[in-house]
Amino acid sequence: MKANYRIEGTTQFRVLTDDQIEAIYHAALEVLERTGCRVHAEEGRALLAQAGAHITDETLVRIPSAAVKDALGSCPQRVALSARDGSRTLLLEDDNFYYGTGSDCPFIYDEHSGQRREFTYADCERAALIFDALPNLDFFMSVGLVSDVPRMTYDRHQFMAMVTNTVKPTIVTTVDQAGLQDIYEMACLIQGGPDEYRLRPTMALYAEPSSPLQHSKDAVQKLLFAAEKGIPAVYTPCPIMGATAPATFAGALVQGLAESLTGVVMAQQKKRGAPLIIGGVISSMDMHDMTLTYGSPELHLASAAFTEIVKWLNLPMFSTGGTSDSKIIDQQAAIENAMSLLVASLSGAHLIHDISFLEGAMIASDEMIVMSDEIAGMCRHIVRGIRVDEEALAVDAIDAVGPGGHFLRHEHTLNHYRSEFWFPTLMDRSRYEIWQQAGAPTMVDRIKDNIKQITATHEVTPIADDILSQMRQILKRADTAEA
Beta-carbon-side half-sphere exposure of residue 322 (alpha carbons within 13 Å): 35
pLDDT (tens digit per residue) in 199-208: 999 999 999 9
Superfamily of domain 76-249+262-383: Trimethylamine methyltransferase-like (3.20.20.480)
Lowest mean pLDDT among 249-253, 290-294, 301-305: 290-294
Q: Which residues contact 445 (CB under 8 A, 6 or more apart)?
A: 439
Q: What confidence tier does 17 reach under pLDDT thresholds 50, 70, 90?
A: very high
Average pLDDT for residues 220-235, to the nearest whole number? 98
Mean residue pLDDT of the chain comes to 96
The confidence score (pLDDT) of residue 482 equals: 82
Q: What confidence tier does 483 reach under pLDDT thresholds 50, 70, 90?
A: confident
**Cis bond before residue 246 (omega within 30° of 0):** no
The confidence score (pLDDT) of residue 209 equals: 97
The distance in angstroms from the start CA to the end CA of the chain is 72
Task: Please name the amino acid found at residue 249.
Answer: F
Average pLDDT for residues 337-348, to the nearest whole number? 96
pLDDT (tens digit per residue) in 51-89: 999 998 899 999 999 999 999 999 999 999 999 999 999
For residue 100, report the phi and psi dihedrals to the nearest 5 degrees: -155, 170
How distant, in Å, are the alpha carbons of 179, 218, 220, 255, 481 from that of 214?
A: 22, 12, 10, 11, 30
CB 169 within 8 A of CB 138: yes
The residue ranges of every structural domain in the chain are 18-72, 76-249+262-383, 390-420
Residue 195 has pLDDT above 70, yes or no: yes
Q: What confidence tier does 268 reach under pLDDT thresholds 50, 70, 90?
A: very high
Secondary element (H or E) of residue 55: strand 54-56
Percent of the chain surpassing pLDDT 90: 93
The confidence score (pLDDT) of residue 1 equals: 53
User: Alpha-carbon distance 149 to 106, whole Å?
Assistant: 13
pLDDT (tens digit per residue) in 145-184: 999 999 999 999 999 999 999 999 999 999 999 999 999 9
Residue 2 has pLDDT above 80, yes or no: no
Q: What confidence tier does 292 reach under pLDDT thresholds 50, 70, 90?
A: confident
Q: Is 21 exposed, middle or buried (0-12, 13-18, 19+ CB in 10 A)?
A: buried
CB 421 within 8 A of CB 377: no
pLDDT (tens digit per residue) in 404-456: 999 999 999 999 999 999 999 999 999 999 999 999 999 999 999 999 999 99
Residue 234 has pLDDT above 60, yes or no: yes
CB 239 within 8 A of CB 252: yes
The confidence score (pLDDT) of residue 220 equals: 98
Residue 8 has pLDDT above 80, yes or no: no
